[in-house]
Structure 1
Amino acid sequence: MDIFLQQLLNALSLGGTYALLALGLAVVFSIIGLINFAHGELMTVTGYAVCFALIWGLPFPLAVIAGLAVAMTAAFLMERVAFRPVRGASGTTLLLTSFAVSAILRVLFQNLISARPIPVAIPASLSGVVTIGPLHLGMIQLISIIVTLAMLLGLNLFLHRTMAGRAMRAAAEDFAVLRLMGLRANSVVATAFAISGLLAGVAGVLWVAQRGSVDPLMGALPVLKAFIAAIIGGLGSLSGAVAGGFLLGFIEVILQAYLPESLLPYRDAFAILLVITVLLFRPQGLLARKTLVKL
């Protein structure tokens, strides 16, 4: 039982990162119908920003704040430069645009920074272990769980207690009616991208803290798994994105812990098989919704 509880805590930590990324994808998709596969590059931008801020001598907390600010700014610019001109186009055009932005950013990272991983100086205080009875949890894992829950609560309050949040919920209900009501659609979409950038930035900081390095391809695999999590939960549903992220994290950790050693190389294949099984019974996702009304 203790071993299972230990693995459950590990799943909460990993699933929290997937949930944050899936939330970022779901927020944008709910409003303009875009699956932004350049979302992973926002993680990478955050990692590089934190890395260089530490190299320039900033304390770790300030480096994290700088990384989050860079991620939000990058998301805002991404929307303004790449996605706003094609906003009214077909879903295929939007999807190809997101792939193009992702590829361009990766090439820029490889040629302007480095194609190899760059180590990030994580404070020694974050490498400790917290003991809770028979359970042992790394400090970074504990912080990951706490930060994820805080971000979910904060986003829920933002959507329901602020004018900008209500505008985003209205845009998810009916974007055309929102414009007829006199609200600035561009501001609502830009806010959604900035929030997605913040979520990707937080996930990027947690990912870098666990890896201890950053490289141009760092965000590629996490954003793919976040997309899978969003599909499991139901595209366009924030609560579904959270549920899908935690479920995918639980599946991966349990398979890693209990699969025979000879089958461990096929862990991801088994995880996808379980995901397909879930979708066979719930093809619309676990908590499919069309709007941002509830989180």
Structure 2
Amino acid sequence: MDILLQQVINGLVLGSMYALIALGYTMVYGIINLINFAHGEVMMVGALTSWTIIGMMQEAMPGAPGFIILLIALVIACVVAAALNFTIEKVAYRPLRNSPKLAPLITAIGMSMLLQTLAMIIWKPNYKSYPTLLPNTPIDIAGAVITPTQVMILGFTALSLAVLMWLVNFTKLGRAMRATAENPRVAALMGVKPDVVISATFVIGAVLAAIAGVMYASNYGTAQHAMGFLPGLKAFTAAVFGGIGNLGGAVVGAILLGLIESIGAGYIGALTGGVLGSHYSDIFAFIVLIIVLTLRPSGLLGERVADRA
């Protein structure tokens, strides 16, 4: 029972990070029907930017509280990621908006490779040890443990989701985003500026990805130029699992995927008689993707609707 509870806690933490990334995928897809495969690399840039800022601040202010350093690094990482994604949308995706769907998809994959290469040049290919800025003392919960870093991840994720839902449902920008997602041509006739809305969507997605990157690096204690690829792919799987284009579906899919992966990792050895170890846990995400695409391509909460004209 303790093992199951521990894996549930780990799964919720993992799913929370996937949710932050998956929301970026599903927001962009909901607005312009584009799968931004460079989104995981935006997460990576956020993580490595925060690693750089933390190192600089620890040298400049050696006595500063760890949480304050992490918070400042997080804010700067969000700004850098937002500026990067804004530029990517304007330079790489906007000129292809009316092109055949394959063109922006290939561009997104190329942008992913480009960002990885640039990050490798700037930060070098070696793994960076991400500083532990919060206390290491674990918190006991009925025999399972959760670290202060994991509590922070759950807290930041809940806060980010609450702010996003408020933004989408109760602000002028949110109404413009929903109108553009429904029908960009009609929205433009009603005074909405689709280019502004699309850029804002990329910026919001980048901020969420940067938060996920900082949380991911804090949780695993490492950062590297290729760190965003696999989490990005799993977050995309989560978005498809929940229903691509559906914000609630992305969150539900991410949490479920995190739980499936974590619980599977805890029991895969017993299930296979020791043949497979926990390092094979990545297979669960892609098994889920194959099953969902086969049985319900629209996802758990997605609607079966016709493509836009």
CA positional deviation for 1:171: 0.8
1:285 to 299, 302, 305: 299
Runs of 4+ in 1 over 6 A off after TM superposition: none
Q: Deviations over 1:211-248 (max 9, x none)?
A: 22221101000000011111111111111111111111
- Long gaps (5+) in structure 1: none
Q: What percent of counterpart residues are identical?
A: 38
CA contact (8 A) 2:234 2:285 kept: no
Is 1:273 matched with 2:287?
yes
Closer/same/farther in 2, CA of residues 19 and 135 from structure 1, 3 Å limit:
same
**Aligned mates of 1:134, 1:169 — CA distance in 2:** 45
Is 1:113 matched with 2:123?
yes
> SS at 2:275's partner residue?
helix
**Aligned mates of 2:263, 2:219 — CA distance in 1:** 19
What letter corresponds to residue 275 of structure 2 in structure 1? S
Q: Deviations over 1:7-30 (max 9, x none)?
A: 211110001111111111000000
CA positional deviation for 1:75: 1.1
CA contact (8 A) 2:34 2:105 kept: yes
Q: Which residue of 1 aligns with 2:9?
A: 9
What letter corresponds to residue 263 of structure 1 in structure 2? L
Q: Deviations over 1:97-133 (max 9, x none)?
A: 11111111111112232011122223142x3312234
Q: Write the mapping of 1:89-238 to structure 2, written as runs, cut at 5 A.
A: 89-125=99-135, 127-238=136-247
Closer/same/farther in 2, CA of residues 270 and 153 from structure 1, 3 Å limit:
closer
Q: Write the mapping of 1:54-65 to structure 2, written as runs, cut at 5 A.
A: 54-57=54-57, 59-65=69-75
CA contact (8 A) 1:15 1:250 kept: yes
CA contact (8 A) 2:241 2:292 kept: yes
CA positional deviation for 1:48: 1.7
Closer/same/farther in 2, CA of residues 172 and 290 from structure 1, 3 Å limit:
farther
> SS at 2:299's partner residue?
coil
Q: Which residue of 1 aligns with 2:275?
A: 262
What letter corresponds to residue 119 of structure 1 in structure 2? S
CA contact (8 A) 1:26 1:241 kept: yes
**Aligned mates of 2:12, 2:134 — CA distance in 1:** 23
CA positional deviation for 1:84: 1.2
Is 1:66 matched with 2:76?
yes
What letter corresponds to residue 193 of structure 2 in structure 1? R
What letter corresponds to residue 210 of structure 1 in structure 2? N
Q: Which residue of 1 aligns with 2:86?
A: 76
CA positional deviation for 1:266: 3.9
CA positional deviation for 1:269: 2.8
Choose 68-77 or 12-21, whichever is displaced more.
68-77
> SS at 1:57's partner residue?
helix
CA contact (8 A) 1:79 1:190 kept: yes
Choose 75-84 or 200-209, whichever is displaced more.
75-84
Closer/same/farther in 2, CA of residues 70 and 141 from structure 1, 3 Å limit:
same
Choose 243-252 or 133-142, whichever is displaced more.
133-142
Q: Deviations over 1:170-229 (max 9, x none)?
A: 111111111111211111001100110011011101111022222110100000001111
| TM-score between both structures, scaled by the size of structure 1 | 0.93
Closer/same/farther in 2, CA of residues 160 and 290 from structure 1, 3 Å limit:
farther
CA contact (8 A) 1:44 1:218 kept: yes
CA positional deviation for 1:55: 2.1
CA contact (8 A) 1:256 1:267 kept: yes
> SS at 2:139's partner residue?
strand
**Aligned mates of 1:205, 1:270 — CA distance in 2:** 24
Closer/same/farther in 2, CA of residues 288 and 195 from structure 1, 3 Å limit:
same
CA contact (8 A) 1:236 1:290 kept: no
Choose 274-283 or 44-53, whichever is displaced more.
274-283
